[in-house]
Amino acid sequence: QVQLVESGGGSVQAGGSLRLSCAASGYTYTMYCIRWFRQAPGKEREGVAGIYTGISKTYYADSVKGRFTISQDNAKNRMYLQMNSLKLDDTAMYYCAASTLSARCEDARPEQYNYWGQGTQVTVSS
């Protein structure tokens, strides 16, 4: 079992920055991939950034490439999503998810991730 808890969400003006944090506990050594997803009302869940925990290889959706950075601190069992140059379209609930099923971390489909946090809200205003 793996438990994930997100923090760091909030309200920010367009162009601003936020850093989300995901604290992992439990059998964290079984996690192959960590991915940040987001879901806005009426939209599908989108996998915006992922990391292969073993080698720290990262993956980004085109919508956030160059603006968001995913990272991990293995000593603290924490993962981060640094979000810069935020846009109105970045407004969503953000979720941290882990996969102990597959090391195909480029796979951004939600069904590939079997552990999820409760989410943290990010609101970007003009």
Backbone angles phi, psi at 23, to 5 degrees: -95, 125
At which residue do the structure tokens 């069904």 appear? 111
pLDDT for 27: 86
Output the average pLDDT for the chain: 95
Strands 18-26 and 78-83: antiparallel
Query: pLDDT by residue (tens digit) across 21-71?
Result: 999 998 888 888 999 999 999 999 999 999 998 888 999 999 999 999 999
Query: Any idea what DSSP says for residue 74?
Result: T
